[in-house]
Structure 1
């Protein structure tokens, strides 16, 4: 009997530890950041297209930006997604008034997205590169509490961040820092209003609209494709002060909700700035590209956050005779959702210092994270 139990336990573990890979049906290439919506959990694939999924999983949804959504009845180790369109020539070009669309969503934000206190189990990932080399990576399970799922500017400006969002760091799966004289890092200030704002889509909506409405700005929107009442729209904004913005979004016509939004800020034309780090070191700073992504899904009639990612690339620091080209990424995946109250979390992260300097709260939940090849090589590095 004991032997049978052991065999069953091994078999159950094997089932749970299964992984699937999402690939492009046309060329077989892996699709990173593909979304898998299970009945009680939400997951995203890593850079190599993989994610851990319980082998018993069935009746789930797979989607990715630029690809057709698929309903999967039974577990399959490889899932192929068809591109939303093959060639741009096959698509009839239809202009979209992007200003009108964004304005409507922003003004009605609290009516169309869930706005009550919420609790989420999330996976947080952060990576930093210096001159093309990964030198910092942290991945952890955490609890995230949000008072209303939108950014309150009054609380933000007054730095009442705990009244907007709270984090509780739990199981730290990976935390590795490579310290080297060849890596230049500079801390400029403490946690800011903008850093908190970047967690929330209404903050980015407002920022995008400010650029559209700025003096002499030029903007355009184009309908790329449409599937089951959801439109894929691309847009461009040219700002006179040296910022060019390109982006894409998915818009649900029935619910009048943006379900996916990504903006890429190209700031190479901005002048070099002189900055001073908190430790007194003076350096020159040149902006590069910044990409911010928000993803939402509908559960029980509610639109909930699924993913928030903030990436920077080609930011350059000039210190003495050194040049340091920077790249970074901060990502939050909202695995589970429950309705909450106004009490928040105890204990909670102190935003006055780096998240990773906070002491984690151990719980019994263990996360499963599939590292990409690059990430695994970094962890193995001595």
Structure 2
């Protein structure tokens, strides 16, 4: 072999050795690929010698058998306590429990007796030793000043004069008995006047009560107090704020309702159509199966034709749901005979079914009870004897006359 051939052979051997070294270095720097999910990690396994390990591995075909190591004991995790769920606190408003209507007038009799001079004046005159013509004139004047009215006054004086003369009565107790009988006959003539409120739930709809009157008589307050009377009788009530002209009238009515848990149907703007509000109130009463819907209306003067026509419209719109069961006219007792013309006009427009007399405790004009009943032919059903929330009472003729003569 010549020199050239030797050089070529040495070069081939050198290149082969260099390639082996490079491959070894490359293999040491290569990273292991990540294991697929669920594959066993061989780094945690131990090698168990096989039966063929005694000989040369390259000639005997020895096989490495890998077995998993014993599982590592772990401390169980401490369970995490679930947070306690606290029930939300429900705030229930403190509702007032109105006084029962029965017995209210009894409680208020003393107040009426102190404020009304009619009975005291008559008893003083009738118990005089001498009942001459001048005394009877004074008796007649006292009755007229009490707003009894001309015709009722004439009737009462004529009957009393005849009975006192015939019986020769002078004793105060006997005079009081005669006067009581005659006043009772005037206050409660027995002509079929039904003083009960028509507030019984009709089939499929609530009873509907409209409250009307002139400005300043206390209609909204009366509606609120009447709601208390009905709640005390365990009736479900809905209020309708159809007085959309007076500022804060709806707020005032809602305040009355909130105190006893009664909802108020109102418009979200001032000057809304009162007939629409009244219609919605009755609709809400039907949907909630309420017993009574009380509708407060705006005060209006009896000589304002447009306003009176609007009141008639409210009633007609409400009657699309069904008849209006009660129309109560609120009169200020201190106005006396001045309220009679008002009463006549309202009665013509909306067919008044009952009278509410307010402020009876602040006047000596108890005779207005007789006058208004004679003028309208409808009964006084409720009287107001104070500013307290439960100072509205069903009218009882016997208790009223007794209070006048107390």
TM value normalised by structure 1: 0.23
Higher strand share: 1
- Considering only CA atoms, is the larger Rg found in Structure 1 or Structure 2? 2
Higher helix share: 2
TM value normalised by structure 2: 0.22
